[in-house]
Amino acid sequence: MDMTLIFTVATAATFIVVMLALIGIIIYQRWRIDDQNVFIERFIHQNEEQRKKMRKAGII
């Protein structure tokens, strides 16, 4: 076989694998950030509820 064809196919395959890996990493990181945002949102909501209770009790 011609060496340029082999080199071209190998380079294309490597490029595709690298791109798929990068896309996978981006999707995974986005999933982790969204998961952390849920916990932060829950914490903020609980904090607001506690402040309301403290205001009603006259602590603040």
Domain that includes residue 34, residue range = 22-55
Domain for residue 3, yes or no? no
**26 found inside a domain:** yes
- Among residues 32, 36, 12, 13, the alpha carbon closest in space to that of 24 is found at 32
Can you give the pLDDT of all 60 residues of the chain as single tens digits?
689 999 999 999 999 999 999 999 999 999 999 888 888 999 999 999 999 999 999 887
Sign, CA dihedral 54-55-57-58, equals positive
Residue 14: per-residue pLDDT: 98
In a domain, 47, yes or no: yes
Residue 27 falls inside a structural domain: yes
Count of the separate structural domains present in the chain: 1
| pLDDT value for 58 | 86
Question: What pLDDT is recorded for position 31?
Answer: 93
- Looking at the domain assignment, is residue 16 inside a domain? no
The shares of helix, strand and coil residues in the chain, as percent rounded to the nearest 5, are: 90, 0, 10
Asked, for residue 2, whether it belongs to a domain, the answer is no
Q: Whole-angstrom Cα distance, residue 18 to residue 26?
A: 12
Read off the pTM.
Answer: 0.64
